[in-house]
Chain A
Amino acid sequence: MELTPAQQLAMHKSMVRIRLFEEAAGKLMETGQMPGFLHLYVGQEAVAVGVCEALRVDDYITSTHRGHGHLVAKGGDLAKMMAELMGKATGYCGGKGGSMHINDLSLGMLGANGIVGAGVPIAVGAGFRNKYLGSDQVAVAFFGDASTNIGAFHEAANMACALHLPVVFVCEHNMYGEYTPTEKAMAIADVVDRAAGYGMPGVIVDGMDVLAVHEATLEAVARARRGEGPALVEAKTYRFYNHHGIQTLGVKYRPDAEVIAWKERDPIFTFEDRLVEGGVASRDQIEEQWAQVRADIAAAIEFAENSPYPEPSALLAGVYTAGGAK
């Protein structure tokens, strides 16, 4: 892996964009300035960025209910994202989709998804499309550990392997399905143990290390692009906030020591230390990146706040395909 300093700084900036976007959105939601629920991606930034930096713009990804990070990492427009979350007409879905349906087909981002595990078969469909058309595009399915207990995951993984499709399965194992620890819902500890059952290689990677995720994904994507079929990458990671929002519900479901231990491995701050220690960037350069992103987030919020809500006449727009259902 030969990443230039510019590439590494771009990966850092992408993680900072996710971090600050999520924290801003979370505060807007909890102060009543943004409707609906938000499932924040804070803590897991290295996974989305490490994976998406290994993809081409025309490669596909499918996402989850915790999907903002995936869209940001694929190159999403922060202003259109913020507007969508606020339900404004200038948003990605015209303000009618919100957090869990956000997408950008021009970037190959086929959508967040409010149903656990439901994005996985969509990625397999995209992989089927790629193979059917003879394209060398790859499809990546992001999903959580708990979604591998869902039937849709099994059917999708089986089909992808049986048909040898160019799909990379990226499991973000953050140890909890909503508020339930993995060990209460699965008899195995590593999702990767399931890969062999479908006939694909599976690897564990440190999901708090953006370069480790990136390197593993590069190889998994290269295999898929060469026609060598699917692979599963299990990134061990942790969400710093709760299942949704910033504040707790008063439900004690994670030991404090565990949360502290994972936060000590913050994927952004540890990466910054390595950039400085390796002579790739200075502390001033890193601070400048944060400042730039803070300005971008402020501009995105301003754009969203100043945007109109969709007109009632837009109610059915985008619901049916052109010409209507047949």
Chain B
Amino acid sequence: MSDLNNGISRRSVLKGAAVGGLGIAAGGSLLAGCGSGATGPLAYGARSVDAGPTAQNEALLAAYTAKTGNEVKYNATESNAFQNNLSQYLQGTPDDAFEWMAGYRMQFFAEQGLLADLTGVWDTIGDQYAESYKIASTGLDGKQYFVPRSWYPWGLHFRKSMFQELGLNADNVTNWDEFLKMLDGMKKKGLIGFAAGNKGGWEAMGTFDILNARINGYQFHVDLLAGREKWTDAKVTEVFTYWEQLIPYMNTNVLDLEWDGAMQLLLQKKAGSMLMGSWFGGNFKEQSEADYLDLSIIPFPEINPANGRDTIDAPIDGYCVAANGTNNEGGADFLKFAGDIEGVNAILGAKDANGLPIPMTSANKGQDTSSYDPFQKEQLAVMAEAKYITQFLDRDTRPDFAGPVVGPAIQSWFKNPKDIAKIQDTLQSQWDALPPLA
């Protein structure tokens, strides 16, 4: 109770004049919470306005309200805007529970005291999750601040029908030489081999991650992103040397296209393959069921036999409770439901506009994988092969480094790959210039 009051007074200072009305509203719901002793009405912040996730969230909220009688207010924000405003949002009057990402991005805000401790939730539903998910949900202080919802692997995507026409077999694209041979064959047929877009600045980070992990191994990759290795290392140069070999097989307008532009190349069968997170399968499905069923994924090929295909970027999305929310208890209660198989099944029961199920690879062990469609089963297989799981470059390193430094650096490499030595120098000097972590 006193914690909550502190939350309100801190807000009052920050929000100045506007706080009057908000404070009264917050006080009102607090009183209501105290009076009934129930977990009471709460607000949920979604970080997507797309049709699929909205339908899933609505199904989840409806199931929760039906079970507990608690009303949940639904606030949806477009994902980029949500991400850009998160600091302000969490320090202002946030929704009680909100959608966020696991790993460093969660730990960063947990460390600043902006996320509520969810250890109690994990005590209840923890046994429904594999240990790796618990680790990804744990803050630097050893407490859990996150409840996973879904995950998706980053792998090499292609269309089965195109592979068939080209006479290719996915089982024969397992190492770098075979991969280049495949790309070469596609190029000879007038196709783009490796669709890429990097106008958004983050898309190509996935390619860097996987090349670095394949060439230099998981440990080097993790150490590099944590600042324990140098960006000027010859090992990093090698990553870009390999990457440069792919340029002739890419579309020429990498810096014109965002991820969805690259996806269009694959969708329109202008490109033979693309490295991307499997989440874009939802966009294929929106296009047509046939396009979705044509989609296939394999692990990115091996480069260094010492590492094999042992690492994969598989970001986990899920939920947090905002410490400054008016109803932390209610938020935690909601996540207990959302993380439980009951909530997961409610999400899986959601239907898209055509009345078809919306595919989701849940983090919950209890999800019935026999109901998975073939594309989802392939995702599971890709995942099962990996020994090490990373989140994604912008989720595995400092936020003031990933977006403002690495993003532009890779863009300038695309402008002129010959500048690599200079780019590596500035990457390292900008890492060294970062403020010390509090």
A, B in one complex: no
